[in-house]
Amino acid sequence: MKGFVKYGDQPHAGIIQHVGQPEPGAHEVLVKVAGCGICGSDLHAYRADAGYEWVRIPVILGHEFTGTVVAAGPAVERYRPGDRVVVIGIQGCLDCDRCRGGRTNLCKARKVIGLDLDGGMAEYAAVNEAYLVTVPDALDLTFAALTEPLSVAVHAMDRVRIRPGQKVVVTGPGPIGMMCAVLTKAAGAEVVLAGTGADELVRLPVARELGLTTMNVESRHFSTVLQEDPHDIWVEASGSTAALQASMEFMPKGSEIVVVAMYSSEFGWFPTTSVRAEHTYYFSFASSFEDYQYALGLLASGKIQLESLASYYPLDRAHEAFEAAEKGFVVKPVLVPEG
């Protein structure tokens, strides 16, 4: 089969290769991949960014994928050929206290499919049945590749209680930021999604297509906006330390700050500012089974419309899709195996 393989630890060491089709183990199923999204972590691994030295080499990238079960190991109980599934990207041990409590994303022994284990940027993938969620019949299977990033947004926004009429600012118009903003608006809040001038090329226009109010922080700074119109909640999804620091400096007293981004550098923080303001911070990492189920339900119901986020590329054009993602030409590229 074909797979997009990270083969070395140097930047951009990825290639479409013919590799052996996996054989499912006793508790595994073989999934014929319908679509696999390119995530920020895939980009970090592909570029060999600092902090991603642990990624297994060689490895087939991709953890945001869906497909159809075509074969099942002898001990598989819940899935049979023909079942439509989405794969849970972060896989816990399922035996520790965190896993038994449903917090598999915080398992000390967690593995990430597509980074620790071969993933979904291929024609087929072998996955333990414990890390699958059934895709509703009403939902397009390829489009369901957006389930994983939506589950991350669901998990983040579950940190706070959004009430109708609240004012929320979301920084970072990438897939997670846009999805957080869409969820927040659906809950009845007034939302503004903030980006930079570079985001005016693609991301902010797409956000406006989703019905979101946008702001270019290079035209209007946070301090001006928040002084004129105080907000209740700030969701930081950009990965910019400047944005995180601004949330701490400019949010009004008693406000809440949700941090869902990952950062590549440290920064200085004077905590007394937040102590005196009684800021409440929530940090959110990845998602778990229940978040996937909720995200799938939202996508299948049509209550939120995210179709404009996805751009589809044949698996053979993986390099082009990665380049488009790096340059910000697309919001969420999805690789689609042919046949």
Q: What is the 3-state secondary structure (H, E, C) of the chain?
A: CEEEEECCCCCCCEEEEECCCCCCCCCEEEEEEEEEECCHHHHHHHHCCCCCCCCCCCEECCCEEEEEEEEECCCCCCCCCCCEEEECCEECCCCCHHHHCCCHHHCCCCEEECCCECCCCECEEEEEHHHEEECCCCCCCCHHHHHHHHHHHHHHHCCCCCCCCCEEEEECCCHHHHHHHHHHHHCCCEEEEEECHHHHCCHHHHHHHCCCEEEECCCCCHHHHHHHCCCCEEEECCCCHHHHHHHHHHCCCCCEEEECCCCCCCCCCCCHHHHHHCCEEEECCCCCHHHHHHHHHHHHHCCCCCHHHEEEEEHHHHHHHHHHHHCCCCCEEEEECCC
φ/ψ (deg, to 5) at 278: 50, 50
Q: In sequence order, what are the beta bridge partners of 190?
A: 167
Query: Do 127 and 65 form a contact (C-beta atoms < 8 A)?
Result: no
Residues designated catalytic: 41, 44
Integer Cα distance of 41 and 114 in angstroms: 10
